[in-house]
Structure 1
Amino acid sequence: MWLTAQRLACLALLLLVGSAGAHDADILYAQLWRPEAGKPEVRERITLTADTLALLIPADADGDGTLTQADLDARAQALAVGIWDAIPLSARGQPCTRTGTTARIREAFVELGASFSCAPGELRQRFTLLSLLPPNYKVVLGSYVQGEQGQRFADATQPTLVVSEPGQPERQAVSGLLAWIGLGLTHIFEGIDHLAFLLALLLVGGNWRRVLLLVTAFTVAHSLTLGATALGFILLDDTRTRWVEAAIAASIIWVALENLLLREHRHRVLLTFLFGLVHGFGFASVLSGYGLDDSVVTGLFGFNLGVELGQAAVVAVLLPIVRLVQRRPVLHQRTVRGLSLLILSAGGYWFLERALG
């Protein structure tokens, strides 16, 4: 039993020393299409966060830490070399000729555009720039013609993608949905702050029925705000996103303090629902940074489903361990106190980092 408590303590230590930046957007979303079938003109649009762009080229021309439209205009040549030259496009084995580029600052992301002259037939693009990014980065490539059904995913191990003429949409739709589910799973497992919040809830969660109510309240709440934000009903700019992240840290502090100070937690379901609304904004900050546009439905559904599956997996692993510890009241009391103190420390660190950063 003591070994079981030690395992929980080790998990909490990982939470404490883990990265607090749990919601960095790690996707480049691209759309590639021919405005007129059979014609040589091909257009492409890529959306990415300013932080991702900074990993590829020094786009901040004046060095003030804020990316502006003037910075992008001044870095037109650097964008051509650092972005477009690093994602060569071809058709039928013949390189396409780039005929123009654009760069625009949007509310939550950067939008890059280019036009090409290509031979007829399927298009093939190799995203060599992925080798310059952290290994978790991916490219989502779609097309206006096929919309959400034409999505494909690339990463550093498989950087080449093909856009063919419309066909086999069902197979592509399933592939794209599974990829979004995988991204949701990745983000919940890498979301150290969300895991800390879940662990704090489970420590004093009570019986299986009460835990189910807590998890359901959290799920419904963050699904509401994630959906509302991803669909554009609620807008998150950089300032609001920063304070959402600080509020998530505050929710962790609050729950940890309650674990330490209160003997009964009759209001915990309602509190979990309210804090779940805040955590949903955190998940939404990931999707809003992708600039998904017409792919938002597939991205939202798949990403949220992945988050829920990951959350269920975490609960399925931790809850039996917590229940075992609860059978020994003295050990349970010490475990709750020790882990809650660690979670409180982590929440305090994240709050200061986010509120002051």
Structure 2
Amino acid sequence: MRRTARLALPLALLVVAGSASAHDADILYAQLWRPDAGGPEVHERITLTAGTLALLLPADADGDGVLTQGDLDARAPALAVGIWDAIPLSAGGQPCTRTHTNARARASYVELNATFQCAPGELRQRFSLLSVLPSEYKVVLGSYVQGEQGQCFADASQPTLIVPDGVSGPGQPERTRVSGLLDWVGLGLVHIFGGIDHLAFLLALLLVGGSFRRVLLLVTAFTLAHSLTLGATALGFILLDDARTRWVEAAIAVSIIWVAMENLVLREHRHRALLTFLFGLVHGFGFASVLGSYGLGDSVVTGLFGFNLGVELGQAAIVAVLLPLVRLVQRRPALHHRTVRALSLLILAAGGYWLMERAWGPIG
């Protein structure tokens, strides 16, 4: 039983740390450009989730829990102070003058727009608002005109980004230029390692996975399925609004409950590969709810490829660590039986908690 407890403890700690917001987007996507290269007018567009906006200021004016266009219109002065004043823009060493702002409620994100009058020279913007967001948040600065060229990132430790004069998209950040693709891979890794619900689902599969060949089949089915729905959603073939995203999150919880229940009541799992594929489609929508909420525009190709690659690398690393432990326990049938029951009960409890929280709102 000591070995069972050792396996159960890490998952228990993860479950305690996990929440229904496992797929909240932790990126603000900014597009900054001069319509006329070198001209005085500068446009900026920032997209972020309603949840991220709520961390910055209370944008839900009527307090009904749903962010609408009316809420954004009513909170326009607060948005100007809480957002735009917190990301000062300068050009050629001189502060830019903000001439217009607006906010738009989109299907799965919020779009903030501003127009500035700026002096000639490189544009420099300091995203001071990152200091009040959780440490994992980043700003992705992409180009409205040039698409994915020059895409770069900022975080709380490096909050300033620079757009050289005379171009229509981002150039070098203040310290070092980073690779957009590598950063998206990193974000995919962070998301899968922090996605406690996906980890719980994978562990439930591995507990009774069987032979290496069968485990490979399960992992391949899951990977193929979630890649299909992630790609289809990110490329716009399938649309996820806030209501659908909520039900996707609830369905992910159902998938965890279902697999955990099967582990407890079934002795054979001949249909597990098909079931894994079907549930993988649902998990792909969960990944897409993160990527889609960034409002990436022309950068969706780099974002999709890098993010999905990061997810797959993270998933492979998790399987590589867990599978030898599971195979070791399988050599002792009695220990394996107790381990499967203990961890499946814990996973079942976690799935039930997530289902209630995601379908009916926060518990307690």
- Which TM-score tier does this pair reach, normalised by the shorter chain? over 0.9
CA contact (8 A) 1:4 1:321 kept: no
Partner of 1:31: 31
CA contact (8 A) 2:185 2:311 kept: yes
Alignment of 1:221 onto 2:220: no
Q: The residue matched to 2:38 in structure 1 has which SS?
A: coil
Q: Using the TM superposition, give the Cα deviation of residue 4 of structure 1 relative to its aligned residue in structure 2, in angstroms.
A: 4.3
CA contact (8 A) 2:163 2:170 kept: no
Paired AA for residue 111 in structure 2:
E
Partner of 1:100: 100
CA contact (8 A) 1:146 1:169 kept: no
Alignment of 1:61-210 (within 5 A): 61-164=61-164, 165-166=166-167, 175-210=179-214
List runs of 5+ in structure 1 lacking aligned partners. none
* Counterpart among 316, 320, 328 of residue 324 in structure 2: 320
Alignment of 1:289 onto 2:293: yes
Partner of 2:56: 56
Q: How far apart in 2 are the matches of 1:280 and 1:49?
A: 19
TM-score, length of structure 1 as denominator length: 0.96
CA contact (8 A) 2:223 2:312 kept: yes
User: Could you report, residue by residue, the CA deviation over 1:289-321 in whole angstroms, capped at 9, with x for unpaired residues?
Assistant: 111111111111111111101111110111111
Partner of 1:47: 47
Partner of 2:349: 345
Q: How far apart in 1 are the matches of 2:333 and 2:274?
A: 26
Alignment of 1:247 onto 2:251: yes
CA contact (8 A) 2:89 2:124 kept: yes
Partner of 2:4: 5
Q: How far apart in 1 are the matches of 2:220 and 2:201?
A: 14
Q: The residue matched to 1:112 in structure 2 has which SS?
A: strand
User: Could you report, residue by residue, the CA deviation over 1:141-192 in whole angstroms, capped at 9, with x for unpaired residues?
Assistant: 1122332122111111110011125599899997001111111111101100
Q: Percent identity?
A: 80
Partner of 2:314: 310
User: Could you report, residue by residue, the CA deviation over 1:246-283 in whole angstroms, capped at 9, with x for unpaired residues?
Assistant: 11111111111111111111111111000000000011
Alignment of 1:14 onto 2:13: yes
Q: How far apart in 2 are the matches of 1:332 and 1:72?
A: 55
Evaluate the alpha carbon distance shift between residue 259 and residue 289 of structure 1 in structure 2; reply closer, same or farther with a 3 A threshold.
same
Q: How far apart in 1 are the matches of 2:354 and 2:343?
A: 16
Q: How far apart in 2 are the matches of 1:254 and 1:64?
A: 33
- Greater mean deviation of Cα atoms: 61-70 or 135-144: 61-70
- Greater mean deviation of Cα atoms: 328-337 or 12-21: 12-21
Paired AA for residue 31 in structure 2:
Q
Paired AA for residue 320 in structure 1:
P
Q: The residue matched to 2:261 in structure 1 has which SS?
A: helix
Q: The residue matched to 2:113 in structure 1 has which SS?
A: strand
Q: How far apart in 2 are the matches of 1:42 and 1:168?
A: 13
Q: How far apart in 2 are the matches of 1:321 and 1:116?
A: 58
Q: How far apart in 1 are the matches of 2:70 and 2:349?
A: 42
* Counterpart among 267, 271, 278 of residue 271 in structure 2: 267
Q: The residue matched to 2:257 in structure 1 has which SS?
A: helix
Q: Using the TM superposition, give the Cα deviation of residue 80 of structure 1 relative to its aligned residue in structure 2, in angstroms.
A: 1.0
CA contact (8 A) 1:45 1:114 kept: yes
Q: How far apart in 2 are the matches of 1:205 and 1:304?
A: 24
Q: Using the TM superposition, give the Cα deviation of residue 355 of structure 1 relative to its aligned residue in structure 2, in angstroms.
A: 1.4
CA contact (8 A) 1:16 1:345 kept: no
Q: Using the TM superposition, give the Cα deviation of residue 354 of structure 1 relative to its aligned residue in structure 2, in angstroms.
A: 1.2
Q: How far apart in 2 are the matches of 1:169 and 1:200?
A: 45
User: Could you report, residue by residue, the CA deviation over 1:114-155 in whole angstroms, capped at 9, with x for unpaired residues?
Assistant: 111112222110000011111111111112233212211111
Q: How far apart in 1 are the matches of 2:345 and 2:58?
A: 41
Q: How far apart in 2 are the matches of 1:145 and 1:122?
A: 17
Paired AA for residue 5 in structure 1:
T
- Greater mean deviation of Cα atoms: 117-126 or 197-206: 117-126
Q: Using the TM superposition, give the Cα deviation of residue 44 of structure 1 relative to its aligned residue in structure 2, in angstroms.
A: 0.2
CA contact (8 A) 2:143 2:170 kept: no
Q: Using the TM superposition, give the Cα deviation of residue 15 of structure 1 relative to its aligned residue in structure 2, in angstroms.
A: 3.7
Q: How far apart in 2 are the matches of 1:228 and 1:7?
A: 40
Q: Using the TM superposition, give the Cα deviation of residue 62 of structure 1 relative to its aligned residue in structure 2, in angstroms.
A: 1.8
Evaluate the alpha carbon distance shift between residue 344 and residue 168 of structure 1 in structure 2; reply closer, same or farther with a 3 A threshold.
closer
Paired AA for residue 229 in structure 2:
T
Q: Using the TM superposition, give the Cα deviation of residue 17 of structure 1 relative to its aligned residue in structure 2, in angstroms.
A: 1.6
Count, aligned residues: 356
Evaluate the alpha carbon distance shift between residue 343 and residue 170 of structure 1 in structure 2; reply closer, same or farther with a 3 A threshold.
same
User: Could you report, residue by residue, the CA deviation over 1:15-70 in whole angstroms, capped at 9, with x for unpaired residues?
Assistant: 43232221011111000001011211110000111111111122122222222212
Evaluate the alpha carbon distance shift between residue 332 and residue 201 of structure 1 in structure 2; reply closer, same or farther with a 3 A threshold.
same
